[in-house]
Amino acid sequence: MRRDDTKEEPAAFRRVVLKNASPYHYLKVRLVLEDESTRLSAVELKQFIVSGLNSLYGEVGAALTFDLLKYDEDTLTALLRVYSKGLVKLWSSMTLLGFYQKQSCAFRVLQVSPFLLALTGNSRELKLD
């Protein structure tokens, strides 16, 4: 009790749990083609992914918003950003893409994270002195 005889309110405890507080997920993917000399532009790659969304989820799936943040045409490696709610749809549609211009292909998901900074390095490739 305080000096002025008023009662103190007990401290309120409030637990806050945030499940996936990030609105986006970032994917680092590589397209592996049967003919390694084939090259795609960034526009062709994005259209290829959209066609996979369309074939698996229809027009509504093809309207899924994702961004191609970075693309290396030599290695066919891309950095994608998608709303967290659409991650499973994007990932599953890329998994089922098996042919590009009548040649076998596959998307390899190299890294996934809700934080862009986490994709700047790969602990599997880390070399310690």
Question: Encoding tokens for residue 13?
Answer: 């405890």
pTM of the model: 0.78
| pLDDT given at position 17 | 64
Question: CA 114, CA 109: separation in Å to the nearest integer?
Answer: 14
Question: CA 19, CA 33: separation in Å to the nearest integer?
Answer: 36
Boundaries of every domain in the chain: 24-114
Residue type, 86: G
Instruction: Tell me the per-residue pLDDT of 21-31, one tens digit each, with 9 for 90 and over.
Output: 789 999 999 99
The dihedral formed by the CA atoms of 118, 122, 124 and 129, expressed in degrees to the nearest 10 = -110
- 3 state SS of 54: helix
| pLDDT given at position 91 | 96
* Residue ranges for the chain with pLDDT beneath 50: none
| pLDDT given at position 4 | 59
| Among the four given CATH numbers 1.10.8.60, 3.30.70.3250, 3.30.465.10, 3.40.1110.10, the one describing domain 24-114 | 3.30.70.3250
